[in-house]
């Protein structure tokens, strides 16, 4: 297990180097069209003195490899640059917004697990039934829905129409700031469902196919030959095997939600990391965009590492370095 | 005395897109306590489905037991409600499967899997069941059973896994142990060990065994009775000695001829059965074996042969089983190619 | 075993594709998707002939009183937007943008992905390591953010949107193609062709490609849907197609501040995205079943 963890961490290093090279190339002078200073300051008029300062600080007049070394050194020291438009370090801006994104991601993951697993298991147990066909078609629809559109529809329906139809008796808040009359968690409902929509469909699909695969295995027949009830066979023997890939997906998805939330957060004006990046895009404030990207990549890498390690805990074949793969 | 298990006219059919598959079509036999019955046939002959039918594990909704009775100690398993069948399954009638690699659940410890039926049928606590599982692993010859019980299946070798499967099947001291090709997936050297272990366990627990195999050689020494199956039908059934030394059905002759024998003249020629087993959707009319049978006559193409009793306990489903002329003729015909006068 | 002339054992026979088509035809959902896509393509290609004349130019700003934000009516079936432009007309022309971006982006992904995937799968070793590790690096990025970062550098425009989406799509294609090459490569007829002295390129094109292509067809079909949704998202965020070009994502972006006052601005472009993407997904699903491709969901 320890060896596996070490190997896995070592594998992260080349990926991290690759990521930094790509992000570096995106702002290195001469590699792509575009002014490197602008990628560092954002597209806003800056005085010539500041321009020179930046060229010096980032060694833009030096050879590329030197610039890269400086770039990585700054990164490792947690220096992601500054937003020249707001005059604040990028790290501070994101540290402030991160808890909101995290809250939304946790809520979405809960929705995804509860709805996705239930739908997948029901589908698998009643394979080819009407319910199964309906659920499977629904998952296809869900993966095809643009999340931002779904968010807008939710707002129109639950926020406004429902309120009109019920004479203000029942409706849901459409953003965090919309009103103070709801308990905190109620504000999360619509954004969380929106953010979870696509992933819920994927979880249901994966769960269904994994369940079906598990239920076709020889060890299921062995379990039935012991005289176990069908329920026990399904929920003990099949489910535990089928869950392993699903847990992996949900884990990785949790990482992705930190970033995929850019659309949901924009639609619901949710003051998180994603919306911050969206606003920065609008203002062409590139340091925030680039800094946000690298923060999120690092978070995703760490979460993926944790997922891989817990995968090993779930699957004894990996834990004991056996025949898996 | 009533038999421990008596199967009469069992028929199991599968509905597929291409038609009805008569996987088992009229199988009858009896099994007495402590005895061993070998069920022999090519793949697709219906022997595994026979076993699954006895366990009532035929996969619904496609597979259905459409006729027959399976009397366990006089009670028909096919008429029992599901709960009662489950009580017997794993407790009184246990089963071992062909591929020990895939028949154990990869995410549960071996000891836990063995203990599962003890908790279910004997009401043991998890701890008691685990302790008993260790004893069982020891009994089937797993070294360091206390440590090994905590292992996962992938940490076992193939032979050890089949030993674990045997331990699992024997956990509740069943009356009947059904073994579906228990050695097919194993190395030849391990095969002998596993068979030996099964016989040893039978001597110890007194369980009756139904041994399913495609390899007549495997069962030569250990079966009391042999049933030969072909295309879902029972073609010959009788005491082991009768099947091996005095078989009546041409298919059995073919099986025996294709079996390397040590007890006959070295010059004996192998006569492999030519052709392929029939598709179970289009079973040939008449005797299903007639297209491959070197002695087939007109009647074989039209009439389904009845099971003819050649002695009290020996039946053969060939039109000519009770025709002494036919057997004499065959003996001559077989002898001619070798250029030896028949006695 | 006899060696057959490798020239004769190339593509899966016509009956394989015939079988696939027969199975696909039985899949109601896939056919519905196909019909819808054909319908949309026909609508948008023929649009010049009838749409502007009947409903108005998609770009024509109408400042006459009452022309702006008119609810759906016979004259304007999907209503008009803030600038008095006909929404139906814009939705029909928006299909051009979506489908063009979808097809071009996937073409770029296919070109890069097939090249790198085949090098990686066919030659293995060092090239394989480089390509697959690069794919890992790409996968480390959250998709939409990577696209935003790319466009931040390239500058937001119609062309740069499909370039960015295309570049980001290659690693998945390369992985899928690499693994099917690895499984095809082991077949005897490939060894036979090699024994006959066929060149690498010939083996690749004549023997491996035809047999490894099924997963690519499935994946490519689904990717078009994915590219369309990504274009919409980027345009929605202001990092895609720029106004006044009618793009579904851009229309939704404009609709955002008006979604309560003029819900038709929100409903129809989104509906167009949903049905188009869904059609590609259903077709991909159908092709997967018809071609019997094993894929992880």
Q: Which is more confident, C144 or A81?
A: C144
Residue A315: list chain B partners with CB under 8 A.
106-107
Contact A160 C260 (CB under 8 A): yes
Tokens for A246? 């699903």
> Cα–Cα distances in Å, from C240 out to A281, C155, C160, C231?
11, 9, 8, 7
CB contact under 8 A, B97 and A222: yes
- In this prediction, residue B261 carries a pLDDT of 52
pLDDT of residue A33: 58
Whether the upstream peptide bond of residue A32 has omega within 30° of 0, thus cis, is no
Give the residue among A245, A276, A314, A213 at the shortest CA–CA distance from A86: A276
A102–chain C Cβ distance below 8 A for any pair:
no
B90 inside 8 A of chain A by CB: yes
Q: Give Cβ neighbours of residue C278 (< 8 Å, ≥ 6 apart).
A: A140, A141, A144, C33, C225
Q: Which residues pair with B31 in a beta bridge?
A: B5
* Structure tokens that stand for A295 in this block: 């923060």
The answer to whether the beta carbons of residues B120 and B90 sit under 8 Å apart is: yes
Instruction: Identify whether the C-beta of residue C215 lies closer than 8 Å to the C-beta of residue C221.
Output: no
The pLDDT-based confidence of C116 (bands split at 50, 70, 90) is: very high
**Range in A19-23, A52-56, C211-215 with the lowest mean pLDDT:** A52-56
Q: Which pLDDT belongs to residue B337?
A: 46
Look over chain A and give the mean of its residue pLDDT values, rounded to a whole number: 83
SS3 B288: coil
- Which helix (H) or strand (E) segment holds residue C131: the answer is helix C125-140
pLDDT for the residue A320: 61
| CB-CB under 8 Å, C232 with A19 | no
Peptide bond just before B61 cis, omega within 30 deg:
yes
What pLDDT shows up at residue A32? Answer: 58
What's the rounded Cα separation, in Å, for the pair A150 and C92? 21
Q: Which residue in this structure is represented by tokens 């020179």?
A: A52
**CB-based contact A31:A62 (threshold 8 Å):** no
Distance CA B317, CA A269 (A): 81
Rounded Cα distance between A80 and B77, Å, is 74
What confidence tens digit (pLDDT) does each residue in B306-317 have? 888 888 889 988
pLDDT of the residue at A259 = 64
Cα–Cα distance list, A295 to A105, B216, B228, B242, C59 (Å)? 16, 68, 70, 80, 40
- Domains, chain C: 100-244+283-290 (1.10.3720.10)
Residue B16 CB neighbour total at 10 angstroms:
11
Residue B237, pLDDT score: 92
pLDDT of residue C9: 39
pLDDT of residue C152: 80
User: In sequence order, what are the beta bridge partners of B38?
Assistant: B211, B226
Q: Is B161 on the interface with A (CB under 8 A)?
A: no
Helix (H) or strand (E) holding A54: helix A48-57
- Enclosing H/E stretch for B38: strand B36-40
pLDDT band at A106 (very low <50, low <70, confident <90, very high): very high
What pTM did the predictor assign? 0.83
Residues B338/B269, Cβ–Cβ less than 8 Å: yes
Identify from A225, A237, A245 which residue to disrupt to test chain B contact, counting B C-beta atoms within 10 A and taking the largest count: A225
Q: What is the pLDDT of residue C15?
A: 66
CA C227, CA A202: separation in Å to the nearest integer?
18
pLDDT in tens, A145-197: 999 999 999 988 888 787 778 777 777 776 655 556 677 777 888 899 999 99
pLDDT < 50 positions in chain B: 265-268, 336-343
Please give the angle made by the CA atoms of B105, B107 and B110, to the nearest 5 degrees: 65
Percent pLDDT > 70 in chain C is: 93
- How far is residue A241's CA from residue B107's CA, in Å, rounded to a whole number? 7
CA dihedral B247, B249, B252, B253 (to 10 degrees): 70
Query: How far is it, in rounded angstroms, from Cα A127 to Cα A124?
Result: 5
Q: How far apart are CA B11 and CA B66, in angstroms?
A: 6
Fold exhibited by the domain A91-314: MetI-like fold (1.10.3720)
**Which DSSP symbol is given to C279?**
H
The pLDDT of residue B320 is 84
Alpha-carbon span C178 to B269, nearest angstrom: 51
Q: How far apart are CA B52 and CA B45, in angstroms?
A: 13
Helical H segments across chain B, by residue range: 47-55, 82-88, 100-103, 110-121, 126-139, 145-148, 158-170, 188-205, 216-219, 240-245, 250-257, 298-302, 324-335
Helix ranges (H only) for A268-325 are 273-282, 286-314, 316-319
Residue A145, judged by CB atoms within 10 A of its CB (0-12, 13-18, 19+), counts as buried
User: d(Cα A155, Cα A257) in Å, to the nearest integer?
Assistant: 20
Answer yes or no: is pLDDT of A36 > 90: no
Q: Is B121 in the A-facing interface, judged by CB distances under 8 Å? A: yes
Q: Which residue's structure tokens are 């030993």?
A: B163
Contact B88 A229 (CB under 8 A): no
| Range of lowest pLDDT (A285-294, B65-74, C52-61) | C52-61
Domain segments of chain A as ranges? 11-76, 91-314
Q: Cα(A112)–Cα(A253) distance, rounded to whole angstroms?
A: 10
Please count the residue pairs, one from chain A and one from chain C, whose beta carbons lie less than 8 angstroms apart.
139
| Contact indicator for A133, A172 with CB cutoff of 8 Å | no
For chain B, which chains pass the contact test of at least 3 CB pairs under 8 Å?
Answer: A
- pLDDT (0 to 100) of residue C123: 84
Q: In this predicted model, what pLDDT tens digit does every residue of C139-191 receive, in sequence order? A: 888 888 888 888 888 888 888 899 999 999 999 999 888 888 888 877 777 77
**Do residue A225 and residue B91 have CB atoms under 8 angstroms apart?**
no
Q: What residues of A are in the B interface, CB distance below 8 Å?
A: 217-219, 221-229, 237, 240-241, 244, 314-317, 320, 322-324
Identify the pLDDT of residue B340.
40
Give just the sign of the alpha carbon dihedral A102, A108, A112, A114: positive
Select the residue from A37, A119, A146 to test the C interface by mutation, using most C Cβ atoms within 10 A: A146
- What is the pLDDT, as a whole number, of residue A197? 92
Mean pLDDT confidence for C34-58: 85
Is C94's pLDDT higher than 60?
A: yes
Least confident stretch, A19-28, B45-54, B310-319, C60-69: C60-69
| Substitution target from A227, A235, A311, A317 for chain B, most B beta carbons within 10 A | A227
Which pLDDT score, from 0 to 100, does residue C226 have?
A: 92
For residue C5, the model assigns a pLDDT of 38
Among B288, B294, B312, CA closest to B235: B288
- In this structure, what token pair is assigned to residue B66? 């459409």
């Amino acid at each position: 297990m320890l060896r596996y963890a070490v190997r896995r961490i070592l594998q992260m290093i080349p990926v991290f180097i690759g990521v930094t090279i790509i992000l570096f190339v995106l702002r290195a002078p001469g590699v792509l069209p575009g002014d490197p200073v602008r990628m560092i300051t954002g597209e806003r008029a800056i005085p010539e003195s500041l321009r020179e300062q930046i060229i010096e600080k980032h060694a833009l007049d030096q050879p590329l490899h030197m610039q890269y070394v400086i770039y990585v050194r700054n990164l490792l020291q947690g220096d992601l640059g500054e937003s020249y438009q707001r005059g604040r370090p990028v790290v501070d801006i994101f540290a402030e917004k991160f808890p909101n994104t995290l809250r939304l991601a946790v809520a979405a993951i809960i929705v995804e697990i509860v709805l996705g697993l239930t739908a997948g298991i029901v589908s698998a147990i009643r394979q080819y039934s009407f319910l199964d066909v309906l659920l499977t078609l629904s998952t296809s629809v869900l993966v095809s829905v643009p999340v931002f559109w779904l968010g807008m529809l939710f707002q129109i329906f639950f926020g406004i129409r429902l309120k009109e139809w019920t004479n203000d008796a029942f409706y849901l808040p459409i953003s965090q700031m919309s009103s103070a009359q709801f308990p905190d968690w109620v504000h999360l409902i619509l954004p969380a469902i929106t953010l979870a929509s696509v992933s819920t469909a994927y979880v249901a699909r994966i769960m269904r196919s994994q369940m079906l695969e598990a239920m076709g295995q020889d060890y299921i027949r062995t379990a039935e030959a012991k005289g176990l009830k069908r329920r026990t066979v399904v929920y003990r023997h099949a489910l535990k095997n089928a869950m392993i890939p699903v847990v992996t997906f949900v884990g990785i998805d949790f990482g992705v939600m930190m970033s995929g939330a850019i659309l949901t957060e924009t639609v619901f004006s949710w003051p998180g990391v994603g919306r911050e990046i969206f606003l920065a895009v609008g203002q062409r404030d590139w340091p925030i965009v680039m800094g946000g990207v690298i923060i999120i990549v690092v978070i995703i890498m760490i979460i993926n590492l944790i997922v891989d390690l817990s995968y090993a805990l779930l699957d004894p074949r990996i834990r004991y370095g056996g025949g898996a793969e | 005395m009533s038999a421990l298990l008596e199967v009469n006219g069992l028929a199991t059919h599968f509905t597929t897109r291409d038609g009805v598959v008569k996987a088992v079509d009229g199988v009858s036999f009896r099994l007495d306590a402590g005895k061993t019955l070998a069920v022999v046939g090519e793949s697709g002959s219906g022997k595994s489905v026979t076993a699954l039918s006895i366990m009532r594990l035929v996969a619904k909704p496609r597979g259905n037991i459409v006729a027959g009775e399976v009397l366990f100690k006089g009670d028909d398993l096919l008429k029992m409600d599901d709960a009662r069948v489950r009580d017997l399954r794993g407790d009184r009638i246990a089963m071992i499967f062909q591929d020990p690699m895939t028949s154990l659940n990869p995410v549960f410890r071996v000891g836990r899997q063995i203990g599962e039926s003890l908790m279910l049928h004997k009401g043991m606590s998890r701890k008691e069941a685990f302790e008993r599982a260790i004893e069982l692993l020891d009994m089937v010859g797993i070294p360091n059973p206390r440590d090994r019980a905590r292992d996962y299946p992938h940490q076992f070798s193939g032979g050890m896994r089949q030993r674990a499967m045997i331990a699992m099947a024997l956990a509740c001291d069943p009356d009947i142990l059904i073994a579906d090709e228990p050695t097919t997936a194993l190395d030849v050297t391990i095969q002998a060990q596993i068979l030996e272990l099964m016989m040893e366990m039978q001597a110890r627990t007194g369980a009756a065994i139904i041994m399913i195999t495609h390899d007549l050689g495997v069962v030569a020494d250990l079966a009391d009775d042999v049933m030969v199956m072909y295309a879902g039908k029972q073609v010959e059934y009788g005491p082991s000695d009768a099947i091996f030394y005095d078989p009546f059905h041409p298919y059995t002759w073919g099986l025996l001829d294709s079996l390397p024998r040590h007890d006959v003249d070295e010059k004996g020629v192998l006569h492999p059965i030519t052709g392929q087993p029939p598709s179970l959707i289009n079973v040939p009319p008449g005797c299903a074996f007639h297209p491959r049978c070197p002695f087939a006559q007109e009647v074989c193409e039209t009439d389904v042969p009845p099971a003819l009793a050649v002695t009290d306990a020996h039946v053969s489903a060939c039109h000519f089983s009770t025709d002494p002329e036919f057997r004499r003729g065959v003996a001559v015909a077989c002898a001619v190619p070798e250029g030896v006068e028949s006695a | 075993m006899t060696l057959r002339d490798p020239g004769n054992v190339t593509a899966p026979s016509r009956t394989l594709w015939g079988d696939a088509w027969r199975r696909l035809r039985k899949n109601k959902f896939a056919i519905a998707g196909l019909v819808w896509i054909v319908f949309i393509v026909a609508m948008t290609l023929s649009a010049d002939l009838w749409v502007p004349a009947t409903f108005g130019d998609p770009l024509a700003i109408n400042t006459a009183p009452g022309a702006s934000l008119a609810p759906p009516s016979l004259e304007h079936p999907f209503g008009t937007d803030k600038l008095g432009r006909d929404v139906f007309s814009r939705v029909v022309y928006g299909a051009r943008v979506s489908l063009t971006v979808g097809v071009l982006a996937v073409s770029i992904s296919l070109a890069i992905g097939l090249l790198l995937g085949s090098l990686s799968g066919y030659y293995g070793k060092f090239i394989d390591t480089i390509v697959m590790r690069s794919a890992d690096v790409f996968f480390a990025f959250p998709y939409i953010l990577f696209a935003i970062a790319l466009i931040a550098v390239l500058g937001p425009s119609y062309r740069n949107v499909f370039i960015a989406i295309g570049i980001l799509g290659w690693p998945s294609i390369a992985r899928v193609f690499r693994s099917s090459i690895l499984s095809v490569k082991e077949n005897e007829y490939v060894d036979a062709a090699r024994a006959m002295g066929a060149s690498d390129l010939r083996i690749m094109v004549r023997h491996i490609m035809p047999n490894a292509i099924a997963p690519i067809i499935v994946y490519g079909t689904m990717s078009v849907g994915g590219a369309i949704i990504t274009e919409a998202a980027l345009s929605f965020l202001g990092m895609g197609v720029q106004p006044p070009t009618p793009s579904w994502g851009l229309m939704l972006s404009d609709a955002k501040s008006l979604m309560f006052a003029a819900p038709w601005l929100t409903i129809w472009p989104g509906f167009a995205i949903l049905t188009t993407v869904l059609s590609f997904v259903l077709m991909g699903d159908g092709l997967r079943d018809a071609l019997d491709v094993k894929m992880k969901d």
